[in-house]
Structure 1
Amino acid sequence: MPRPPMHTLDAVAALRQTVRDWKRQGLTVGLVPTMGALHEGHLSLARAALAQADRVIVSIFVNPTQFDNPSDLATYPRTWDDDRRLLADAGVHVLYAPTVAEMYPAGFATHVSVAGVSAGLCGAHRPGHFDGVATVVCKLFLQSQADMAFFGEKDFQQIHVVRRMATDLDIPIRLVACPTLREADGLAMSSRNRRLAGPERDQARRLPETLRDAARRIAVGDSVAAVLAQARERLVAGGFAEIDYLELRADADLASLAHYDGRPARLLAAARLGTVRLIDNMSVPTKA
């Protein structure tokens, strides 16, 4: 049987009508929020959604309220034609691509702020970023009325922020965290990778290499402070001019860990190569 064509919608009313029709048929709905410039990591989220939900919506919206740097917003890659083709080929049912005016109409004055898990890490280095994320994702959840939403673990702090927001606001949606997809050399897939110029692309692999090595050392009992200090030195020597953070946090609640006590933990980092800010994280291996 031929696959039905993917529909492209840009209005809240049309999206809600589509979802109402699906739910009258007893169908479940999955949502994959993105900002476009799609890569295999995004497509893996779409495939996970297609495996668990009857109907899948992928949103593309470059959200201006989560950019603390106007130049970063201006240079964020936009690849609409390729994105649409990739999603249609994957079997996505609806591409939802609202305009800024549709998402933030005249007079818009409400913002969602999540305390606690948004503090530190990216929250400390990108003022207002997680307010923008929480606001737009809250709107997407309410607009789509999805039963489940899929996010990549590369943005680990973001998952915590979104989960806290949905829980606190009683939004009936299940969050599914999917593993980070990586390039052959280990670099976490990201839309920003295409902005790495020349030698920067080769240098970038040192971020996951350094995190992986540091996580293994922490797992066998090496001093957390010493491991993190040496990892910072390794990144600087490898060409990273600026390290926003490199920290050990608890998986469950992002609590800062000065010592590894055996509970699930994760190293999180953000560092810059030229004008490109890369983020990544690695779980600390647990003992068998």
Structure 2
Amino acid sequence: MDDLGAEVFEGQRARLFGLAYRLLGSAAEAEDLVQETYLRWSRVTGPVEVPAAWLTRVITNLCLSRLTSARRQRESYAGPWLPEPVLTAGGALGPLETVEQRESVSMGVLILLERLTPVERAVFVLREAFGHSHAEIAGVLGIEEAHSRQLHRRARAHVGEPRKRFESDREQHRRIVRRFLEAATRGDVAALERLLADDVIAWTDGGGSVTAARRPVYGLGKVARYLGGFVTRPEAAGVVVEFLEVNGEPAALIRGPGGDLLAIMTMELDGDHVAAVRTTVNPAKLAFAGAQLA
């Protein structure tokens, strides 16, 4: 591959990573498949009329193959599975200027995408996050345009319309997140109960590597007590909480006394109340965000 070919690929790298991440929910796997796409691009000997379309088709189909095996692995995952968190203020997943762009990388939507078949997920992501026409999607996936439209309607029905929560004031979101974390780090169960929705759910992804609840915790009282017990844990001593944007949303990053990243917590709001708490403590899933912070 000549310098021009390498330059063309580098111009597409960020977009390809963002596409693969949305399809897989894993930054590490997305990086692997971006590299595999690069290797295939480097072996091309003839002219490629539209490089962006060629690269999109290759990485999308690599992701479809990976999703088939990933689904089997997630069925045997130890405890709740959450997508791998990514710091997004620096543009790691592309521009997040619109509601559609932000929702396409949110923890909530990435979890909902797990309901879809691999090809439904591909159609949804290519259409919703990247604005491809159904004719373009059909070319990427090797299907009829009418089939692409059908798959998109089906995917939308499964995912629903989650846009409402992204239309709230982002500064208010940050304030509620800060109040929530302050109450949790004080062990103030009463304050947590005032901030939580009645039907709140808390997930903690430890992957079997660290101590974490093996099932989701449901309901205001149980979630408040679960989170309020944080200060009693040995690892809570000397932690530092930092607020940054993760997956397009305000989030809390919890570091140990030595600066190691221990957890990333995102919160989904329903008005002025926290409706969902998703905490990643699995070290393998924190590695990418940790490298971003370095």
TM score, norm. by length of structure 1? 0.31
- Compare the two structures and name the one with the higher helix fraction: 2
TM score, norm. by length of structure 2? 0.31
